[in-house]
Chain A
Amino acid sequence: MRVNGAVESLDVQPWVSLLDALRDRLGVTGPKKGCDQGACGACTVLADGVRINACLALAVQYDGREITTVEGLASGEELHPLQAAFIRHDGLQCGYCTPGQLCSAVAMLAEHRAGMPSAVTERSGELTEAEIRERMSGNLCRCGAYNGIVDAIRDVAAQEAR
Chain B
Amino acid sequence: MKPFAYVKPADVAGAVRAVSGEPGAKFLGGGTNLVDLMREGVERPDTVVDVTGLPLDTIDELPGGGLRIGALVRNGTLTADERVRARYPVLSQALLAGASAQLRNMATVGGNLLQRTRCPYFYDHAAACNKREPGGGCDALGGLNRSHAVLGVSGSCIAAHPSDMCVALAALDAVIEVESVRGTRRIPMTGFHRLPGDTPEIETELAPDELVTAVELPSAPFAARSRYRKVRDRASYAFALVSVAAALEVRDGAVTAVRLALGGVGAKPWRAHEAERILLGGPAGEESFTRAAEAELAGADVRPGNAFKVHLARATVVATLRELNTGEGTA
Contact = CB atoms under 8 A, between A and B. Distances in A.
Task: Determine whether A and B are in direct contact in the complex, meaning some CB atoms lie less than 8 angstroms apart.
Answer: yes
B190 interface: no
B39 interface: yes
Contacts of B237: 137-138
A14 B35 CA distance: 11
B136 to A, nearest CB: 23
B26 to A, nearest CB: 12
A58 B31 contact: yes
Given A14-B4, A57-B106, A117-B92, A135 B101 contact: yes
B184 interface: no
B282 to A, nearest CB: 31
B36 A116 contact: no
A119 interface: yes
A36 B32 CA distance: 11
Contact of A134 (B2, B8, B236): B236
A61 B1 CA distance: 16
Nearest to B38: A15
A117 B103 contact: no
Contacts of A116: 76, 79-80
Given A44-B102, A52-B106, A120 B52 contact: no
Given A14-B4, A57-B31, A38 B36 contact: yes
Contact of B101 (A104, A122, A133): A104
Contacts of B38: 15
A127 interface: no
Contacts of A41: 100, 102
A119 B106 contact: no
By DSSP majority rule, is chain A's interface helix, strand, loop, or mixed?
loop
Contacts of B100: 38, 41, 53, 137-139
B316 interface: no
Contacts of B101: 51, 104, 107-108, 111, 118, 135, 138
Contacts of B96: 117-119, 121
Interface string B215-237: 00000000000000000000111
Given A13-B3, A137-B235, A53 B103 contact: yes
Contacts of B5: 14
Given A38-B36, A117-B85, A117-B92, A56 B31 contact: yes
Nearest to B30: A56
Name which of B39, B85, B101, B331 has the most chain A CB atoms within 10 A of its CB: B101
B128 interface: no
B35 A17 contact: yes
A52 B101 CA distance: 8
A58 B35 contact: yes
A59 to B, nearest CB: 10
A138 B99 CA distance: 7
Contacts of B6: 14, 58, 60
A14 B8 CA distance: 11
B93 interface: yes
Nearest to B100: A138
A133 B235 CA distance: 10
Interface string B18-53: 000000000010111001101100000000101010
Given A61-B50, A137-B236, A115 B105 contact: no
Contacts of A114: 80
Contacts of A115: 80
